[in-house]
Every structure is written in C-alpha cells, then in structure tokens.
Amino acid sequence: MLENIVKYFKLVRFAHTVFCLPFALCGFFLAVKSPEGNFTWILFVEVLLCMVFARNTAMGFNRYLDRDVDVKNPRTKVREIPSGKISPKNALIFVIINALAFVVTTYFINQTVFFLSPVALFVVMFYSYTKRFTSLCHFVLGAGMALAPLGAYLAVTGQWALLPLMYFFLVLTWGGGFDIIYSLQDADFDTQNNLHSVPQALGISGALKLSAVIHILTAVLIIVIGYMQKAGIFYAIGASIFLLLLFRQHKIVSKDDLSRVNVAFGTFNGLASVIFSVFDILDIMLS
C-alpha cells in the first residue's frame, strides 16, 4: 500500500507543490485580512485539498498524455508510466479521481469557485497539449500555477480584486520564466520530435535571454505588489531574497553549461517560493 502511494507521489512529483502551494497561502491570508475575509480551519483545509487535487490532476494528465514522448527521451523514459511502474489506465483513473475530488471540494467552498472549477481544470490540463503546437507552452504552465493565489483568494471572499490578480501575473511570469530554463535540457529532443518550446524556437542563448527578460518583469511585479499592499519590512526581506535567488539561477546556467539546470529549477525556485511566502504572510498578518 505504502509502496503504491509513493509511486503516485513520484508520478506527480508531489515535492514540486513547493512552487505553487506557498503562493496559494499568500492568496488565502491576503483574503483573510480583507474586509470580506474570515478565517476558518475547515476552509483552510479545503483550500489545501483543492491545491493538491488540482496539481495531481494536472501532473497526472501530463504524464499520461506524454507517455509516448517520454519513452523516447533518455531523460524521461525512467518516469513511472514509460518504465511500467504505473499503467496508463491506472494513471488516467488517478487523474479522473483527483479531478472529481477537486470539483466536489470546491462545491463546499462557495459558488464562485465551484462554477469556475471546470475552467481551472481546463487550464491546468490544457498545458499538456500546448507543446505540440506552440512555443508559448511555458506561459500556459505559468498560468496554471498562477491560479493558486487567485483561486485561494476567491475561496475566502468569493469576489474578484486587483491585488490577487497581480499575484496571478507574478506567478505566471516567474513560472513561465523558470520553465524555459528547465526546458533547455530538452532543446535537441524537441527539435528532433517536432515539439515546441522556447529553446527549440530561439535556441539556448535566445531562450536564456527571454527568460531573463520575463524575470525582470517578475521583479517589477514584486515591487508593484509591495507598493499596492502597503507592505512593510517582512515583505521587503522576503522579496529581496526571492529576487536574489531569481538572479542567482540565471548566473549558474549558461549556454555552455547546463549541468545546473535542475539546481536552478528545483532548489532555487523552491526556496524562493517558500521564503517569499513566509515573509509575505507575516507582513500581511501583522499589518
């Protein structure tokens, strides 16, 4: 039993929830502190469950849809489906269960998130198709990630607001930018297999430049959000560390040395997300 659970955790790279979940918590506590907000433990758990179910759906579907591509790629052929550890049928069942659990959980939150739940599922699942026809696939992934803070805010308030929308664009640009870096390692494979990505379209050097430009926009959004939020010292500390880690990942990856792509992608961005969110939530709750 435990072995099967571990296999499915690996299928969806459960540890990578560290990218989205902290920002969902930012959106949640931002909403709690708003005039329309109110904290309850039940709602907090429901939001966490929605995050887990949505991400499991997205990643499980991605692995299911990409199974024929993954088996050809030396980097990905060891994944759970191409290696035979999980059958395509069982992976699809896993996706369906998580998608239904997501929708059911939103029903108990409020009408806004319930009615929008199919839209959210469409966005996070549609990404899996995009590499087949557009180099903008990275930003579709970023948009799926960016639903985390916006959805959490709507879960608490049931209302739209500008500030959580700014968080949406923050996560979109951050996630899209670092996914370009991550995809550098598959540039040749994508070209040979008629798959689309920024590295395939612009080359490694061009992709690194575009990622840097996108992350400059992320830095601008961090500053603008701080101003709109009337943030204090804790936000400033978290934002500074976030931007330092963002800058650092661009320093350790170059067109001549891709050996530290996984460090830039996993370690630096995971730390950036957690650290920024901790300080941001402290700033929100103590303001």
How far apart CA 142 and CA 171 sit, in angstroms, is: 7
Calculate mean pLDDT across residues 174-186: 94
176 CB burial (10 A radius; 0-12, 13-18, 19+)? buried
CA distance 52 to 14: 9
What is the spatial distance between Cα 160 and Cα 59, in angstroms, rounded to a whole number? 27
Its pTM stands at 0.94
Helices vs strands, H then E, count in the chain = 13, 0
Lowest mean pLDDT among 116-125, 192-201, 248-257: 248-257
Q: With the C-alpha atoms ordered 167, 147, 127, 88, is the resulting torsion angle positive or negative? A: positive
Neighbouring C-alpha atoms within 13 Å toward the C-beta of 182: 18
On whether the CB atoms of residues 156 and 228 are closer than 8 A, the answer is no
Of residues 122 and 1, the one with the higher pLDDT is: 122
Tokens of 194: 């008629």
State both tokens at 53.
């179910």
pLDDT at 1 over 70: no
Percent of the chain with pLDDT strictly greater than 90: 80
Q: Are 166 and 150 in contact (CB under 8 A)?
A: no
Mean pLDDT of the chain: 92
The whole-number average pLDDT for the span 105-130 is: 96
For residue 2, the model assigns a pLDDT of 63
**pLDDT tens per residue across span 46-77:** 999 999 999 999 999 999 999 999 999 988 88
Question: Domains along the chain?
Answer: 2-286 (1.10.357.140)
pLDDT the model gives residue 263: 79
